[in-house]
Structure formats: structure tokens, C-alpha cells
Amino acid sequence: MTTFPNTDQNPLASLDEWEDDLLLRYPEPEAKAKEEYRNYDDPARDTVREFYRLNHTYQTYDFVRQKEREFLAFDKKELPVWGAMEFLNTLVDDSDPDTDLDQLQHLLQTAEAIRADGHPDWFVLTGLLHDMGKVLCLFGEPQWAVVGDTFPVGCAHSDKIVYPEYFEQNPDSHDERYNTKYGVYEPNCGLRNVHMSWGHDEYLYQMMKDYMPEPALYMMRYHSFYAQHRENAYDHLLDDHDRAMFKWVNAFNPYDLYSKSPKPPVVSELKPYYEDLIAKYLPATLKL
């Protein structure tokens, strides 16, 4: 198994720093013009740049396949779903200056925004669950293998991915098996046949694939695939079914990015509704 030095683990003060960076790249449509936000040629937070340097260097095809074998056995822990979200709350980091909300509160805010807009209950549940895969950090995974913009591995890296210059350090960029437009894949083979960079999206999708409706699974699996749902950089791998389903990914994305509020939800008031919703779709316990 691949091992990494301690210095190559966790450059971000907290996982929320990556999500805050997304807001700088993709501000709300009515907010400031994009160019008024952070200049990527002179970033204010070098930790984000370092995070992506590590992510782009180490997320290789072989690394992803290794992590699939390691974690998709789901043999680390077994918990009720609400217990898994409380387990996720141990990721709260006092060094994060931007929010006092814990992980569960962010998930509830996302879900409540979706519910307020009258979407189906499985969509609401997706909002509640979408970041639960971040428990990977609690199993010793480095930040760059948990969060970050996701992208296909096993083929050429798009220059539409944030900080594409760091892929020069990725061994796959110099491997003729993996550095062509299609790499190990066939044209328009469908994303179901494509391996994505490892992180909380794929982990949660694999955990939920037997329980949730397909639109929910697309939201879970591809909500961090910004190179596609914002830049359309991998149309050559998508099939017609992917294109139809990505409307759900695009519908989910604003709730994930823009639902944060400094006013925390009252967990005790919301818990009965969400426990009933969880019971409707999911088993009593989940294997992590």
C-alpha cells in the first residue's frame, strides 16, 4: 500500500477551507463578479494551492484502484445513519475562522434548503447525506484523498481542472497508458465505466448505491466533478444517459454551495423528521 510522509497529509486548516474556496471560484450568480474574487495567479491562501498540489500529484489510476479495494469492503465500522453523522462531527476544527457550524449542521442546512423548495423527499435526504463520506478522514485518509474537485483517472487530465499545472508531477501524466484523451476508456463509454479520483463522493455513492434512487446517486457521486458540470471538459466520456442525469447534479450543486448560514439549525427539532426519512430509504445501520 502507498504511504506518504506526514507533511503530505493535511495542509488545510479544516475541510471547510476547500468548500470556502469553491465559493470563491463559483460565487452566487447575483454576487460579485467572479474576477473580483481570489486571483489564482496570486492566491491569498497558499494552503489551498498546496492541497491541490498534493491531490494532483498523488491521485493516480493505481492509487484509486488501491483505495477502492481498501475501503469499498466497508469493514471499518457499523453505525446507525444518525450515528454516522455524529461520528462525522468529530471533524469539527476550532482553527476554522469562517464558520462555527459542525458538519451535521451544514448537512441539515443543505437538506432544509432543498425541502423548503418542495423537492422530493429523496432529494432532501441526499442533501442530508451528501458529505457523509468525509468520515474517510476519521479512518486516517489525508485531506487530498477525501475532498477536492474530482476528475477521471486513467486518461489525460483536462486543463479545466483547477491548478492543472500540478498534474505534471503525477506519474500518469508521463505514462502512455493513461495520458491520452481516452486512456484506458472508450469514446462515450459512460461514467459508470470511468474511475474517478478517490474521495468522499465515490465512497458515499458506493455506500448508498443499493438504497437511493439513481438521480440521488448521481448527485452524490459527481457533485465535486466541477470540470464536467461547470466546464463540460469530459463530454467525450459521457454517454446520453449521463447527460440526462447530470441535470440532477446541476440542480443539487447550488444547495451544496450556497445554503450555508451563520444561523444554526435546531437539531432536536429536525431530528424526528430526518430519522423517519432515513428509515424510509436506508437500513437500520450502515457499514463504513
Read off the pLDDT of residues 168-208 as tens digits, 9 standing for 90 and up: 999 999 999 999 999 999 999 999 999 999 999 999 999 99
pLDDT averaged over every residue in the chain:
89
Q: Which residues contact 247 (CB under 8 A, 6 or more apart)?
A: none
Segments forming the whole domain that contains residue 72? 6-287
Which among 134, 57, 36 is positioned nearest to 90, based on CA atoms? 134
- The reported pLDDT for the residue numbered 95 is 34
Inform me whether the pLDDT recorded for 36 exceeds 80: no
Inform me whether the pLDDT recorded for 219 exceeds 80: yes
Structural domain includes residue 1: no
C-alpha cell at 59: 491521485
Inform me whether the pLDDT recorded for 221 exceeds 50: yes
- The reported pLDDT for the residue numbered 135 is 93
At 284 the three-state DSSP class reads: coil
Structural domain includes residue 82: yes
Which among 223, 229, 255 is positioned nearest to 243, based on CA atoms? 229
CA distance 242 to 237: 9
What's the DSSP call for residue 90? G
- The reported pLDDT for the residue numbered 106 is 85
pTM for the predicted model, two decimal places: 0.89
User: Among 17-26, 59-68, 170-179, 238-247, whose mean pLDDT is lowest?
Assistant: 17-26
Mean pLDDT, rounded, for 112-138: 96
- The reported pLDDT for the residue numbered 26 is 87
What's the DSSP call for residue 164? G
What's the DSSP call for residue 153? S
Mean pLDDT, rounded, for 58-86: 96
CA distance 286 to 129: 12
**Which pLDDT band, with edges at 50, 70 and 90, does 23 fall under?**
confident
Q: How many domains would you assign to the chain?
A: 1
**Which pLDDT band, with edges at 50, 70 and 90, does 104 fall under?**
confident
- The reported pLDDT for the residue numbered 251 is 96
**Contact between 199 and 109 (Cβ < 8 Å):** no
User: Among 37-41, 258-262, 269-273, whose mean pLDDT is lowest?
Assistant: 37-41
Cα angle 116, 243, 200; round to 5: 65
Cα angle 141, 179, 39; round to 5: 65
- The reported pLDDT for the residue numbered 28 is 81
- The reported pLDDT for the residue numbered 3 is 55
What's the DSSP call for residue 134? G
C-alpha cell at 226: 466541477
Which among 44, 26, 64, 253 is positioned nearest to 162, based on CA atoms? 26
At 55 the three-state DSSP class reads: helix
Structural domain includes residue 68: yes
- The reported pLDDT for the residue numbered 158 is 98
Top mean pLDDT of 39-43, 83-87, 199-203 is at 199-203
